[in-house]
Amino acid sequence: MGTWPLSACLRCPGHRRAGDKEQIGLHRFRRLVDLAQHVGAVRASELLGEEVELWHGPPLSGLAGQWLPSTAGAYMEACMEEEERLSALEEHAAAVLEVGRARDTIRELTSLVIEHPLRERAASLLMTC
């Protein structure tokens, strides 16, 4: 996602991020997903392809320690963000299939189904490929 000029402002009892929303990957991701819902399949596959590039694994996966699971609010938000990411991967695959480029999404869908075998839409899209 690159390095952005974000600043952390110390506030009791914690920190607050200050900066343009476009500098935060999650906000960019949500904006691209929203835009993709309002355009044709070709443009949607491009936008969702950009979105896929913004993610590098599950939310907060690079943080060390056991403090996150004990922080219920942060943990639940990370779970919701992961669901958003997986849904967007499925949307991207569907858009790519719709424009007739099944070969371009087989690897992505295979990995998704292996990692999340109970996701019915991903399995269905893979079978469609």
The pLDDT tens digits of the residues spanning 81-124 come to: 888 889 888 988 999 999 999 998 999 899 999 999 999 999 99
* Percent of the chain with pLDDT strictly greater than 90: 25
Cα(6)–Cα(18) distance, integer angstroms? 6
pLDDT at res. 120: 94
Burial, 83: exposed, middle or buried (Cβ in 10 Å; 0-12, 13-18, 19+)? Answer: exposed
DSSP summary character for residue 15: E
CA-wise closest residue to 125 among 83, 90, 84: 90
Cα(75)–Cα(54) distance, integer angstroms? 20
Distances (CA, A) of 25 to 14, 38, 91: 21, 21, 18
**Higher-confidence position of 5 and 104:** 104
Is 74:15 a contact under the CB 8 Å cutoff? no
Burial, 126: exposed, middle or buried (Cβ in 10 Å; 0-12, 13-18, 19+)? Answer: buried
Does residue 5 have a cis bond before it (omega within 30 degrees)?
A: no
